[in-house]
Amino acid sequence: MIQTGLHHVTAFSGLALRNLDFHTRVLGLRLVKKTVNFDDPGTYHLYYGDAAGRPGTILTFFPIERAAPGRVGVGETQETAFRIPRASIGWWTHRLIEQGVAHEPLVQVFGAPVLRFRDPDGMMLALVGVADPEGEGEAWASGEVPVEHAIRGLHGVTLLLDKAEPTAAILTEVLGLHEAGREGNLIRFAGSAAVGGFVTLRAVGGFLPGRPGAGSVHHIAFRAADDAAQAAMGAALAARGLHVTEQRDRQYFRSIYFREPGGVLFEIATDAPGFAVDEPIEALGSALKLPAGLEPHRAEIEAVLPKVA
């Protein structure tokens, strides 16, 4: 079955070491790849995910040491949510308190408990309790988060938009999602994948536009089964008059990018080849990996990157 939904979410952060500590130690995600921003090799690109780094479990960051904070506004991702077992909501509430992470009161959204909090750069995150948390994810057992409570990949994102309809059409007619429900000013769309399956649109006509900075989501990426499926999506977008980039080789997937009508930067990424293409699964994230074109510059790149371990 073709899996549709999110492939990954990419955000800006401040200090790399603080970002790494929060997402791996506090949240218990696995660092599945330590590389650089291919468009700006003096900056890290850190990938977090489940044990195997599967599509739909990946949250990535471009850490910029002296980044000014961003401000969420229309044309941006407002919230990035992870899936956890529903029975683990209490455990996570304790964990956030114990770690000094402020959280909002528990709310129910589309019938599921949602625990909202921010990472150290102010990025809006949430844990969503799901009844069947196993799905296709392979939870990562980290030092401080036992496997039974571990995050089971992305739940989804909430986009803040002026109006929902033009973005909804792209989700349903090109990216393989379908409308799954409405609640207040939220419209939820679902893909076929258990992980990373939901995109929720929040229409707030007239609100201020976002300002990118630390804690802001840069783009969200959707899944394409292969190059042919990606090319077909790209053609469908071009037929709608949207500008789509050429395919770029991101080493772990191949990508095209476009700005959807609501202003959010969307990417379509292939499932293949995945994060085990340049290091074994058991060693994911342990060494700084560079694509072949940057390997000759390894010494200068390592000299400018901040130490994270």
Q: 121 or 267, CB closer to Zn ion?
A: 267
Please state, in angstroms and rounded to a whole number, the distance separating the CA atoms of residues 285 and 50: 12
Q: CA of 282: how far to CAs of 45, 71, 178, 271, 293, in Å?
A: 20, 37, 36, 20, 25
Q: Which stretch binds Zn ion (CB under 5 A): 102-110, 178-186, 230-238, 264-272?
A: 264-272
Using the rule CB under 5 A, is 170 a contact of Zn ion? no
* Sign of the CA dihedral with 204 first, then 209, 213, and 217 last: positive
Q: Which stretch binds Zn ion (CB under 5 A): 3-11, 154-162, 193-201, 288-296?
A: 3-11
Using DSSP's 3-state secondary structure scheme, residue 1 falls into coil
Residue from 50, 121, 267, 271 touching Zn ion (CB under 5 A): that is: 267
| Residues 38-97 interacting with Zn ion (rule: CB under 5 A) | none
Using the rule CB under 5 A, is 221 a contact of Zn ion? yes
Using the rule CB under 5 A, is 224 a contact of Zn ion? no
Using DSSP's 3-state secondary structure scheme, residue 215 falls into coil
Q: Which stretch binds Zn ion (CB under 5 A): 12-20, 167-175, 186-194, 218-226?
A: 218-226
Using the rule CB under 5 A, is 271 a contact of Zn ion? no
Q: Which stretch binds Zn ion (CB under 5 A): 8-16, 31-39, 141-149, 290-298?
A: 8-16
Please state, in angstroms and rounded to a whole number, the distance separating the CA atoms of residues 192 and 200: 15
Residue from 3, 4, 10, 78 touching Zn ion (CB under 5 A): that is: 10
Joined together, the tokens standing for residue 305 give 């990157």
Please state, in angstroms and rounded to a whole number, the distance separating the CA atoms of residues 72 and 75: 9
Contacts to Zn ion by CB under 5 A: 10, 221, 267
